[in-house]
Amino acid sequence: MITRQLANALQYLHNIGIVHRDVKPANVLLEKSMRPHLADFGLSEYKQDLKKVTMENWRSSGKPTGGFHKKNMVGTLIYMAPEVLRKEIHTEKSDVYSFGISIKNPGVVPYTDLRTEAQAHTVLEMNYTEQQLTAAVVSEGLRPALAGTESGAPPRLLSLIQRCWDADTNNRPSFDDIITELDLIIGNNKSSTVEENALTESSSDDSTKMVQPFKENINWFSQGENISKSVYESGFDMKSWSSYSENSSLYVPVLSWGSFATCGRRETMEDTHFLMPRLWNEDDIHIFGIFDGHRGAAAAEFSVRAIPRLLQTLDCTKSPTDVLKEAFINTDIAFRKELNNQHKYKAIIQKDYHPGCTAITALIVQNRLYVANAGDCRAILCQAGCPYPLSKDHVASCLEERQRVTSLGGEVKWQLDTWRVGPAALQVTRSIGDDDLKPWVTAEPEVTETVLSGDDEYLVMASDGLWDVVSDLEVVNIIKNTVKEPGMCSKRLATEAAQRGSNDNITVIIVFLRPVSTAERIY
């Protein structure tokens, strides 16, 4: 459990007298095995040295970079405890506060998931000032929105998180207390799973089974992680793709990459994505992907692990185009099979639970860019300052897609404000999952192949939460006026979409295809 291991690291620091002072997800590095490592000790101090800090000698110097003030008031604003924002001394309990903010909803930037209009923009990226956010956290008790028990999170964990970010430092637990509580939570969850399985297996008469309300307690990330074990037994030599291009002297791009994801105005975050540069340590094979869930996040969570795993096991003597198609289709088959198994063996009683996700994946092999798309995520390539689409939206309002669905016997009707497929009234016509709409809503992606050259500047991939409100040309113009750092450009695009009123989750990946400078030059 990542949360438990992170708590161990902070417990160790505090036991030897060190306060980290910048606990946040960006400072937690994960191995391939998902083992976390707490990093970035540039702001850390011994507790005995922090006691020398007083209001009289407090002062800031320089402008904030990735964090906040550079002297005694340090950290990253949205993870900083109220007492630190009041310019009081940073203590171990301030690390506890940051820990609570960090684990409350992984993958969602704090304060971007608040639902009321009065709080919709209470984060710096949403155009609130530092002073306004600080005042809300310190004076109004503002905290990020916490998932409810319906999300599957144990109530004791939710209670623990709330105690970690209590305004009164005396009410916050120490990391000794946190670890004790986490061990109890983990133990109870294991016991509950065993009891639930035993109850399910012992009931052979359907008439005696109690109907349970739907509660998704399945780790779809783990299910997707294991897909390659059940589909293929042996791997392949990644060098086979490296030799796919006959001319080894061809232009090869120099990559840098970054991403940003936010819940936006949605109640839950159903987007997932991965960045896998130098795939399996090969310098000229890179893959990036975005999965936009609908009717639940299960298919997206499954696919974000399954697609890379399948690409590792499929026969790469085939062309990358064929391999990408095969990976999408096999992921769809495996997900729907697993979903059916969960319905049978986990006593999930919800007949209309048919989650799906749209998907877009970019594979770079030497100088060739392959984009596989199924649904309404989108990718564009900026070439010499102009945007070029690398995918098209698979939606029922597209005549070609509508005809494809109807030719398979599917029903397409005009409902509400657009064309929609089947009784589920789905707008997209291609996706992974959505088992109630097969075979009309296919998982087979369309794949484009582009030969890269020195004129190609960067690749932008995003879920429809961006494209609904920002055009291809506007994306290029926004990046043009942003410091050329891919993570910063991704954040700028996502927050621009949120400002314009996007009502969907927003995920953006940017891959620069040639060397760029993060410093702006003025002449």
- 3 state DSSP class of 334: helix
Rounded distance between C-alpha atoms, residue 396 and residue 238, angstroms: 38
Positions in the chain short of pLDDT 70: 51-74, 106-108, 112-130, 147-152, 188-217, 228-249, 279-283, 314-316, 345-351, 517-523
* pLDDT on residue 249: 63
Query: Which DSSP string do the residues of 171-215 spell out, in sequence order?
Result: GSPPHHHHHHHHHHHHHHHHHHHHHHHHHHHH---GGGPPPPPP-
Q: Residue 275: exposed, middle, or buried by beta-carbon count in 10 A (0-12, 13-18, 19+)?
A: middle
Q: What is the DSSP string of 458-522?
A: EEEEE-HHHHTTS-HHHHHHHHHTS-S-HHHHHHHHHHHHHHTT--S-EEEEEEE-S---SS---
The C-alpha atoms of residue 294 and residue 22 are separated, in whole angstroms, by 34
Q: Please give the helix or strand (H or E) that residue 360 lies within, else none.
A: strand 356-365
Query: What distances in angstroms separate CA 121 from CA 33, 144, 157, 446, 499, one per listed residue?
Result: 36, 12, 27, 37, 8
**Burial profile 423-445: b = 16 or more Cβ within 10 angstroms, e = fewer:** eeebbbbbbbbbbbbbebbbbeb
pLDDT at 71: 46
Name 382's Cβ contacts closer than 8 Å, sequence gap at least 6.
388, 456, 457, 458, 459, 460, 476, 479
End-to-end CA distance of the chain: 52
Whether 517 contacts 483, CB under 8 Å: no
Q: What is the pLDDT of residue 7?
A: 93
Residue 260 tokens read as 């940003």
Residue type, 346: K
Q: Kindly name the residue from 22, 271, 332, 393 that is annotated as catalytic.
A: 22
| pLDDT at res. 373 | 98
Q: Where are the domains of the chain?
A: 2-183, 220-240+251-379+449-512
CATH number of 2-183: 1.10.510.10
> Do the domains 2-183 and 220-240+251-379+449-512 sit in the same CATH topology, yes or no?
no
Token pair 């009410």: residue: 171
Distances (CA, A) of 412 to 251, 400, 404, 455: 45, 12, 10, 42
- Pairing type for strands 271-276 and 356-365 reads unpaired
The amino acid present at 393, given as its one-letter code, is D
How many CB atoms lie under 10 A from the CB of residue 259?
A: 21
Cα dihedral 269, 275, 279, 284 sign: positive
Class for domain 220-240+251-379+449-512, per CATH?
Answer: alpha beta
The reply to whether 22 belongs to the active site is: yes
DSSP E strands in 39-102: the ranges are 45-46
Per-residue pLDDT, 499:
87
Q: Are strands 368-374 and 506-512 parallel, antiparallel or unpaired?
A: unpaired
Residue 435 gets which letter from DSSP? G
Burial class of 181 by CB neighbour count within 10 A (0 to 12, 13 to 18, 19+): middle
Which residue, among 319, 308, 333, has the nearest Cα to 443 in the 3D structure? Answer: 333
Residue 309: closest CA among 294, 293, 289: 289
Residue 146 carries which side chain, given as an amino acid letter?
Answer: L
- What DSSP string describes 119-183? GTT-SGGGT--HHHHHHHHHHS---PPPP-GGGT--HHHHHHHHHHT-SSGGGSPPHHHHHHHHH
Q: Encoding tokens for residue 23?
A: 């606990």
Tell me how many degrees the CA angle 483-488-494 measures, rounded to the nearest 5: 120
Beta 456-462 vs 506-512: how paired, if at all?
Answer: antiparallel
CB-based contacts of 367: which residues, under 8 Å, 6+ apart? 245, 250, 251, 252, 253, 451, 452, 453
Nearest to 461 by CA among 367, 387, 394: 387
CA separation for the pair 332, 334 (Å, rounded): 6
User: Residue 144: is the preceding peptide bond cis (ω within 30°)?
Assistant: no
